[in-house]
Structure 1
């Protein structure tokens, strides 16, 4: 497994776990209230920050436990990275358009923030799953 594939696994895990924690906390706080009334902003910021920090720490630990591993990127790594990023970015666009339409429609900021967070998470998940798939299943000619 290449260093870049390991990084994709780390980022995938961090995105899924942090979003799961966010959902669990927000839904747990609801207690029968409507979701827009639940305080969410602090939890959202903390889970995003914790996800980024956890991925950085995990990548540092990965580097420390495999000091002799090559971190050089070859052409294949760069192409897989680009394809995975392009695949994942579709959800960033979807989230931006959805948030814009929701804002124009007067939706509550809770829903707008959550659709953006969901699409960022889906972007990370889809992009990293694509990278892992390309590493595992070969590199198709598109």
Structure 2
């Protein structure tokens, strides 16, 4: 099990390991940190996303860039909203389901990388 060292807050308190397999997605924030999202919570680490994208690829993990500031664990995506272009990390989707957005420019390529049996849902917009 490969782990990523993270902290529980933005100031560096609560150093702990998080299994890479448990990571849902990484997202840059306005404080030049990387937020590490798991089902259990949100943690923090440093470094640009392109570093983590390369490190995960070289480690044999399937992380995909959903947006300029979002890197998601492809194996953790459980459902896609094709209207809003959201990737959900649980299915069925509930009000507690974690999700992140995909950019329009990356959407088609991401959809081709996902397994065909991943549920696709639509949102009717008025």
Q: TM-score range by the shorter chain?
A: under 0.3
Structure with the larger RCO, 1 or 2 (CA within 8 Å, 6+ apart): 1
Larger Rg: 1
Structure in which a larger fraction of residues adopt helix: 1
TM-score (norm 1): 0.19
